[in-house]
Amino acid sequence: MQYASTRGHTASQNFSEILLGGLAPDGGLYLPVSYPQISADELNIWRGLSYAQLAFEVLKKFATDIPEADLKSIVERTYTADVYCNVRKDEEAAQITPLRVLQEDHGGKLILQALSNGPTLAFKDMAMQLLGNLFEYTLARQHAELNIFGATSGDTGSAAEYAMRGKKGIRVFMLSPHRKMSAFQTAQMFSLQDPNIFNIAVEGVFDDCQDMVKAVSNDLEFKQRQKIGTVNSINWARVVAQVVYYIRGYLSATTSNDQKVSFTVPSGNFGNICAGHIARMMGVPIHKLVVATNENDVLDEFFRTGVYRVRKSAETWHTTSPSMDISKASNFERFIFDLLGGDSARVAALFRKVETEGGFDLSGKPGSDGDEFAKVARFGFESGKSVHTDRLQTIRHAEQKYGITIDTHTADGIKVALEHLEAGVPMIVLETALPAKFNETIREALERDAQRPAGFENIEALPQRFVVMPANVDQMKAYIASNTGL
Ligand SMILES: *Cc1c(COP(=O)(O)O)cnc(C)c1O
């Protein structure tokens, strides 16, 4: 399987080559030159597989350059009940992403698929844990090492650290705004004592951290010498790892291949739902893919109007579902490539326009950039939006009607899913985090604390390992160099 850029850069690459890189040299995102297909026979056989077995079958279609026996062992080490153990009932651990029916009628069946039973209690573990093992394997084969450098305001940084801790050939340097994360999130990251994990609390806000990552990334000489890489959401292996749970969800919610299901996905950077789109393109009988946004509704606006308009930082709101607080959706270009029928010259022109004019318009209106918005329905996409008061109401509704406590992002998903229910087509909502991570809002909605999974009770009291640094790029570079010895 070969991969090429959405903007047309033609030198195609294999899976291992794009695994450790970020953007393609022309600024585009990598996609396979064609989507591998899943036959009806395969789907039938896959119904009986464990999560790890299924992940192997899916991944081997994409990672054709990794010997099958090696891939199998990587996947089997990744998707184990020991790693995905933060479940509500013990028998659910073996399922990795257990499904729970919330309602059978009232306009349609509603199902919750749990994706947050991994070490950091959010769905990002599903992909990041695999990435950690794939990185370690690939680096060992190349006798290479990698220093991951990134900024986080919460979920991504901790998922990356828990995936890379103790891995040979890998160090993680993670910036976070000093004293700006929740006590729980800070404790989760800073309590890691592994010598290959470096937590750097920057005296500034999240934007200062991101500016420092950009400044370091723009220094190509430093980047090369220090072997700097990233693990952001455009990473192709992360997207592929997520395709697996859409297929698992489909198979668990149906009994035969003539049945369809829909998914609603709490969305920010479009990474999660992009995997649903790919599962659908591979032939999984998915009816609708519903994008749920919070107040930062860039994607809802596009799927309602055909206008993609990225937001300035002053228009990017800090909300109570913070992992969806985005100004632009970094994976969206992959879907636009398919929407435009693979016309990479037009993709390149549209995303240049995003940089120069802040967006593009595919509504087909006079003066717009195209009329492809009319084709969005063919890809199953719909959307909806949820705001703070909706979240509070939905968290209460879930407690009263379904007897469960949900986190704020999942609440955005359920709110929007309820607006898109259809009789005869089960609607699966992807749970993206556990409520313990966002306890402040749980207290506001329910006037009590969210339950913490076993082992997290006293996490704030654990010893913490981090350094505090001013937002100074030279000092940062010196710190990295002194710890890598490169
Ligand atoms: C990252 C994240 C999201 C958004 O996912 P995208 O892939 O960026 O669309 C939603 N909920 C939670 C809890 C997250 O951590």
Confidence tier at 232 by pLDDT (50, 70, 90):
confident
299 alpha-carbon distance from chain centroid: 15
- By residue count, the chain amounts to 486
* Residue of 112, 269, 289, 297 to mutate, ligand 1, most atoms within 8 A of C-beta: 269
State residue 89's pLDDT score. 67
Q: Is 470 helix (H, G, I), strand (E, B) or coil?
A: strand
Kindly report, residue by residue over 185-201, the tens digit of the pLDDT. Answer: 899 999 999 999 999 99
Average confidence score pLDDT of the chain: 94
98 alpha-carbon distance from chain centroid: 18
Residue 428 lies in a domain: yes
Four-CA torsion 269, 273, 279, 280, nearest 10 degrees: -120
Which contacts (CB < 8 Å, 24+ apart) does range 91-99 have?
Answer: 92/117, 93/117, 94/50, 95/51, 96/51, 96/52, 96/248, 97/51, 97/126, 97/245, 97/248, 97/249, 99/249, 99/252, 99/253, 99/428
Has residue 98 got a pLDDT over 70?
yes
Assess contact for 120 and 154: CB atoms under 8 A.
no
Confidence tier at 217 by pLDDT (50, 70, 90):
confident
- Centre of ligand 1 to C-alpha 325, Å, is 9
Percent of the chain with pLDDT over 70: 99
Residue 258 lies in a domain: yes
State residue 280's pLDDT score. 98
Tell me which of 13-17, 271-275, 418-422 is least confident.
Answer: 13-17
State residue 460's pLDDT score. 93
Residue 114 lies in a domain: yes
Residue 379 lies in a domain: yes
Instruction: Measure Cα distances from 97 to 93, 122, 165, 166 in Å.
Output: 8, 12, 23, 25
Expressed as residue numbers, the domain containing 396 is: 89-120+237-446
H-helix segments, 369-467 = 388-397, 408-418, 439-446
CATH code for position 334? 3.40.50.1100
Its pTM surpasses 0.85: yes
One of 72, 124, 288, 415 is an active-site residue; which one?
A: 124
CA angle 15/194/165 to nearest 5° reads 20
Residue 219 lies in a domain: no
SS (H, E, C) 71-102: HHHHHHHHCCCCCCCCCCCHHHHHHCCCEEEE
Confidence tier at 471 by pLDDT (50, 70, 90):
very high
Q: Report the domain count for the chain.
A: 1
- Centre of ligand 1 to C-alpha 366, Å, is 35
Has residue 423 got a pLDDT over 80?
yes
Atom of ligand 1 nearest to the CA of 124: 15
Residue 75 lies in a domain: no
Kindly report, residue by residue over 292-313, the tens digit of the pLDDT. Answer: 999 999 999 999 999 999 998 7
- Centre of ligand 1 to C-alpha 440, Å, is 18
H-helix segments, 151-205 = 155-164, 183-190
- Centre of ligand 1 to C-alpha 335, Å, is 17
Residue 362 lies in a domain: yes
Residue 306 lies in a domain: yes
* Residue of 267, 274, 430 to mutate, ligand 1, most atoms within 8 A of C-beta: 267
Question: Does residue 280's CB lie within 6 angstroms of at least one atom of ligand 1?
Answer: no
Percent of the chain with pLDDT over 90: 83
415 is catalytic: no
- Compute φ and ψ for 343, nearest 5 degrees: -80, 90
Q: If 0-12 CB within 10 Å is exposed, 13-18 middle and 19+ buried, where does residue 182 land? A: middle
Has residue 227 got a pLDDT over 90?
yes
- Centre of ligand 1 to C-alpha 367, Å, is 34
Question: Does residue 270's CB lie within 6 angstroms of at least one atom of ligand 1?
Answer: yes
Instruction: Return the number of other C-beta atoms located less than 10 Å from residue 308's C-beta.
Output: 25
150 alpha-carbon distance from chain centroid: 15
Question: Does residue 138's CB lie within 6 angstroms of at least one atom of ligand 1?
Answer: no
Atom of ligand 1 nearest to the CA of 270: 9
Kindly report, residue by residue over 348-368, the tens digit of the pLDDT. Answer: 999 999 999 999 999 999 999
